[in-house]
């Protein structure tokens, strides 16, 4: 699944914050996008419709030697960025300028073919005395568009009345190679997620063969698209993207200049790799919801299955707590039974011929990512179960379209292009079968959903590489400070990843939110968390590290949604579809 998302099969993050600008109803009604798997894409589409733009116009000696060699190899080939007006209204109104940076397709051949990375920049507004340089941002994925992430982060800092932290930096957004507005953008089979598909759970040989054939067909479509895409697929690792970040740094501040970095979800792994390759080029380093570098990527996805199963049960328990609102059952077990009963029914009778068991699972997976979705998804579940109305059916179809984004596979294609080549996945299907069967027995919610999401890695048409050993050659000690953030019940990037990264970077501090289930939620309105980030950005100093402790700073997570609160009642009335005592809250 995606590692990032106010998605993503693990999708990634910036998109969630767009909820503050566009309603979920708008998001699901104006879908066009890629995947968060995937609220992210739905939000992106709605935000674009609202005028938010993504498209740019026409420290040991060993660590020092490693990064110097890498920097020298790119510096001679680094081009400049010609800044112009951003094509989309909201990004331009935020004061951004946009442009392209030409970078080597293959950094081992710096004089060879080039690709273009779409970049945006919002300049600092502070005095020269307070200016702290550039900060690159990444929302995760892999495959998430980050061209306008800078705009969202600045807006949240201002909303929190933490404007100084925003004012002191040039905020840089970019679409990683292959993503969104970067050229070329990868696409293999745009309608790969069109419903109704065979059930994810391969309970018969026919279903198993369907998914193996479907996955292999996607690989073949990726390989056959064009010679340019095939060449790019050979150069899509996290290391390649880290080298692109270094090219952006060199283009903006020169080979000897430094930058800061703020990454979410998969973007934390990108940051870990960058910090390993170029440790002495970093000022501030903020990593929210850390990928465990020991687990990339096969085991990481199996770990997600167990964590998402836990979180969906937490959501079922929340629905049961508010049974007077949702009427889905008075206990977690009762709600769970009803959800899985519907899953079985949909295998034979998909909603509107579109939402079958796969689409049903994909829709409600988002509840395991973000508590922000609980009200809307609870309403959608309850409306369908208690009314079976055309409106409830149409809402679920819309939610599926917003989640799976049929018609645009860019994020999914890049997700596989990166993960399938970062490291060698098992090449034997019986290994996949045995491992997923074992996990599915204890965590049935999304295990096979996730397995098939990653199944293109079984026969991916580009060679796998060796992953970087994060914090190797003294680079971990060379990072003078880093702020790590995570909720302890994060499912997309389980908390153990943040604990591991804290150990790998001895000068880092970890801010934990005990009991929280939301993924990648910093700069999201929690003043304890956001204030710690702002302080670090303004001063370059982190809170003290606590020797012997698991983490160093504690913040309470945001309150769990309450559908009986005034805001919930207002949202319910806005939906116009409350029936049989069921509140439809959007």
pLDDT at 3: 72
The mean per-residue pLDDT over the stretch 312-339 comes to: 98
pLDDT at 29 over 50: no
pLDDT at 88: 82
Domain assignment present for residue 477? The answer is: no
**Please, which pLDDT band fits residue 281 given cuts at 50, 70 and 90?**
very high
Residues 208-217: pLDDT tens digits? 999 999 999 9
Catalytic residue among 168, 422, 490, 552: 490
42 and 31 Cβ atoms separated by less than 8 Å: yes
| Residues forming a β-bridge with 117 | 101
pLDDT at 68 over 60: no
Going 378 to 380 to 383 to 388, the CA torsion angle's sign is: negative
Higher pLDDT, 183 or 68: 183
% of the chain residues with pLDDT over 70: 84
Residues 4-25: pLDDT tens digits? 544 333 333 333 433 333 333 3
Q: Look over the chain and give the mean of its residue pLDDT values, rounded to a whole number.
A: 87
Domain assignment present for residue 368? The answer is: yes
Catalytic residue among 120, 199, 241, 265: 265
Higher pLDDT, 60 or 379: 379
Domain assignment present for residue 586? The answer is: no
- Residue the block writes with tokens 């993050």: 13
Residues 371-393: pLDDT tens digits? 999 999 999 999 999 999 999 99
292 is catalytic: no
pLDDT at 77: 53
Measured distance CA(62)–CA(581) in Å, rounded: 67
Domain assignment present for residue 420? The answer is: yes
Catalytic residue among 170, 199, 404, 519: 519
Higher pLDDT, 27 or 415: 415
**Please, which pLDDT band fits residue 363 given cuts at 50, 70 and 90?**
very high
Query: What is the side-by-side strand order in the sheet with 134-138?
Result: 84-85, 97-104, 114-122, 170-175, 134-138, 259-264, 282-288, 482-487, 508-513, 553-554
Domain assignment present for residue 111? The answer is: no
Domain assignment present for residue 523? The answer is: no
**Please, which pLDDT band fits residue 585 given cuts at 50, 70 and 90?**
very low
pLDDT at 64: 45
**Please, which pLDDT band fits residue 1 given cuts at 50, 70 and 90?**
confident
Measured distance CA(86)–CA(71) in Å, rounded: 29
pLDDT at 36 over 80: no
Q: How many structural domains is the chain composed of?
A: 1
490 is catalytic: yes
pLDDT at 566: 56
pLDDT at 529 over 90: yes
Q: In terms of residue numbers, what domain contains 219? A: 188-224+296-458
Domain assignment present for residue 543? The answer is: no
126 is catalytic: no
pLDDT at 284 over 90: yes
| CA distances (Å), origin 108, targets 73, 74, 113, 273 | 8, 9, 11, 18
pLDDT at 78: 57
Beta strands in 448-582 (DSSP E): 482-487, 508-513, 553-554
pLDDT at 189 over 70: yes
Measured distance CA(558)–CA(43) in Å, rounded: 21
Residues 557-581: pLDDT tens digits? 999 999 998 555 444 333 333 222 2
| Residues forming a β-bridge with 486 | 512
The mean per-residue pLDDT over the stretch 431-452 comes to: 98
Domain assignment present for residue 55? The answer is: no
| CA distances (Å), origin 460, targets 22, 73, 141, 374 | 37, 29, 18, 35
Going 428 to 190 to 360 to 54, the CA torsion angle's sign is: positive
DSSP string of 283-307, one letter each residue: EEEEEES---TTSTTHHHHHHHHHH
pLDDT at 8: 36
**Please, which pLDDT band fits residue 89 given cuts at 50, 70 and 90?**
confident
- For residue 22, say if its preceding peptide bond is cis, omega within 30 degrees of 0: no
């Amino acid at each position: 699944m995606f590692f990032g998302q106010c998605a993503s099969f693990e999708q990634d993050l910036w998109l969630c914050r767009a909820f503050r600008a566009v309603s979920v109803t708008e998001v699901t009604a104006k879908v066009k996008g890629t995947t968060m798997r995937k609220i992210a894409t739905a939000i992106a589409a709605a935000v674009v419709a609202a005028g938010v733009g993504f498209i740019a116009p026409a420290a040991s000696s060993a660590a020092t030697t490693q990064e110097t060699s890498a920097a020298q190899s790119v510096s001679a080939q680094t081009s400049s960025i010609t800044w112009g007006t951003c094509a989309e209204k909201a990004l331009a109104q935020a004061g951004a300028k946009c442009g392209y940076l030409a970078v080597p397709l293959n950094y081992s051949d710096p004089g060879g073919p080039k690709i273009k990375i779409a970049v945006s920049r919002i300049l600092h507004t502070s005095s020269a005395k307070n200016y702290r340089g550039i900060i690159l941002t990444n929302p995760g994925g892999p495959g998430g568009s980050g061209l306008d992430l800078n705009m969202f982060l600045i807006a949240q800092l201002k909303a929190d009345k933490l404007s100084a932290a925003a004012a002191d930096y040039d905020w840089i957004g970019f679409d990683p190679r292959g993503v969104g507005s970067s050229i070329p953008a990868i696409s293999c089979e745009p309608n790969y997620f069109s419903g109704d598909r065979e059930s994810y759970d391969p309970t018969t040989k026919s279903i198993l063969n369907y998914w193996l054939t479907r996955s292999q067909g996607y690989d073949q479509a990726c390989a056959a698209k064009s010679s340019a895409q095939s060449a790019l697929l050979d150069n899509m690792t996290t290391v390649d993207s880290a080298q692109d970040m270094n090219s952006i740094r060199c283009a903006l501040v020169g080979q000897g200049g430094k930058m800061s970095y703020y990454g979410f979800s998969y973007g934390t792994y990108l940051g870990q790799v960058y910090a390993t390759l170029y440790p002495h080029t970093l000022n501030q380093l903020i990593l929210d919801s850390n990928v465990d570098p020991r687990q990339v990527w096969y085991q990481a996805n199996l770990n997600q299955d167990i964590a998402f199963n836990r979180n969906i049960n937490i959501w079922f328990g929340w629905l049961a707590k508010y049974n007077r609102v949702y009427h889905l059952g008075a206990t977690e077990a009762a709600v769970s039974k009803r959800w899985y009963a519907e899953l079985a029914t949909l295998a034979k009778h998909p909603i509107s011929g579109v939402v079958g068991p796969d689409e049903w699972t994909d829709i409600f997976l988002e509840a395991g990512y973000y508590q922000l979705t609980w009200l809307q998804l609870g309403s959608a579940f309850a409306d369908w179960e208690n009314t079976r109305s055309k409106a409830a059916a149409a809402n679920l179809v819309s939610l599926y379209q917003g989640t799976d984004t049929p018609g645009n596979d860019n994020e999914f294609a890049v997700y596989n292009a990166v993960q399938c080549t970062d490291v060698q996945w098992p090449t034997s299907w019986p290994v996949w079968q045995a491992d997923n069967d074992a996990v599915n027995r204890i965590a049935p919610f999304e295990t096979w959903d996730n397995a098939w999401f990653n199944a293109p890695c079984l026969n991916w048409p580009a060679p796998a590489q060796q992953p970087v050993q994060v914090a190797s050659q003294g680079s971990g000690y060379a990072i003078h400070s880093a702020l790590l953030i995570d909720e302890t019940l994060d499912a997309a990037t389980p908390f153990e990843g943040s604990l591991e990264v804290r150990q790998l970077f001895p000068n880092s501090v970890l801010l934990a939110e005990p009991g929280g289930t939301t993924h990648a939620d910093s700069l999201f309105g929690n003043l304890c968390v956001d204030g710690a980030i702002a302080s670090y950005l303004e001063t370059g100093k982190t809170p003290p590290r606590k020797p012997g402790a698991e983490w160093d700073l504690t913040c309470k997570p945001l309150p769990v949604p309450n559908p009986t609160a005034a805001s919930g009642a207002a949202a319910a009335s806005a939906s116009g579809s409350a029936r049989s005592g069921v509140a439809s809250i959007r």
